[in-house]
A and B are shown apart, each in its own frame.
Chain A
């Protein structure tokens, strides 16, 4: 058995913290593979900046709630766990909301109610229930970082495509010469559905190609 194969064996038996981190980026990407937390993904991804801010806010709430849920996992009675998780998440979302408001009022306005709606993002609750409530704090942190980064990446790739095509700009900087015909549909709600469909299609194609080879 070569070194690499031995490595793979260990890999299977007990996932290390690095694996917990990496799985969120690609294999279990929250948006493209698990299709979780779609509402904010579609709603605030009309510019790259909004998408990035929303991604960071969500990742922060995910990280903090994962840590707290993991710390309290022996104290929360099973019957009321979901309610407790929701309360923990709601607390951190309120903190985030006030933080964003103090950093940039404009950003707070353009994200609007969607900061509050992080509470009902299924991604955060599902990580609390499926991972943090069963694992150590260290692993939960890695899991939250990976999933959070995967979420940011997905949101950003959606926002970038929509902004470049829809308003011919990137982070507000104009990219194309004057003659460029903007694809206005991309910033409209319909464009969100189409862009996400296109990204999922790309993911599916890659997966299919790998399965064949």
Chain B
């Protein structure tokens, strides 16, 4: 069992060990959808929601797998649960808000292959969080993911107006920005340790 308090877990997951900038999880949507602040914040919300659901399911599955002594099924069952959750979210969003569904487009089903979500499920199992801690961890990770996405989208929107050499445009520029952001986030280190 892990003794960390809720606020510690939240700060650690969102700022100190930011999933995108410190663990390099979820880089694909980070590079792909981070063109506009509007889309990236919605994407962040969708990812956070999937994280929350799959984190709760992962907790249950882990308990079940420990009970039947079949740890080798962990990965397969996690990924199936995540895929099912994403499918559920997709149907839900389609029913409730067709506009948002259109705005997110292909990136909604692609959440399945977002490593941040699987990473979250695996890390929470490794750290031995209980049910409530897992939920806080998922919320923190989601908030951190959204924060990183929105920050980089803001930077990229500003850079639209700058004159950048052709060779650097696109991925190279985004990676450089991400590197600088990652350096900035290192300033948070030690924040949630006590």
Interface residues of A (CB under 8 A from B): 35-36, 38-40, 42-43, 82-83, 86-87, 90-91, 93-94, 97-98, 113, 116-117, 119-122, 125, 185, 188-194, 196-197, 200-201, 204-205, 208
Contacts and interface: CB of A to CB of B under 8 A. Distances in A.
B123 interface: yes
Contacts of A82: 112
Nearest to B175: A197
- Per DSSP, are chain B's interface residues mostly helix, strand or loop, or mixed? helix
A117 B179 contact: no
Given A35-B31, A113-B122, A90 B75 contact: yes
Interface of B: 21-28, 31, 72, 75-76, 79-80, 83, 112-115, 118-119, 122-123, 126, 166-168, 171-172, 175-176, 178-180, 182-183, 186
Given A91-B76, A113-B122, A204 B167 contact: yes
A192 B27 CA distance: 12
A55 to B, nearest CB: 16
B134 to A, nearest CB: 16
B68 to A, nearest CB: 16
A125 to B, nearest CB: 6
Contacts of B31: 35, 38
B179 A190 contact: yes
A38 B122 contact: no
B27 A201 contact: no
Given A116-B75, A117-B115, A196 B175 contact: yes
A193 B28 CA distance: 13
B24 A119 contact: no
A99 to B, nearest CB: 12
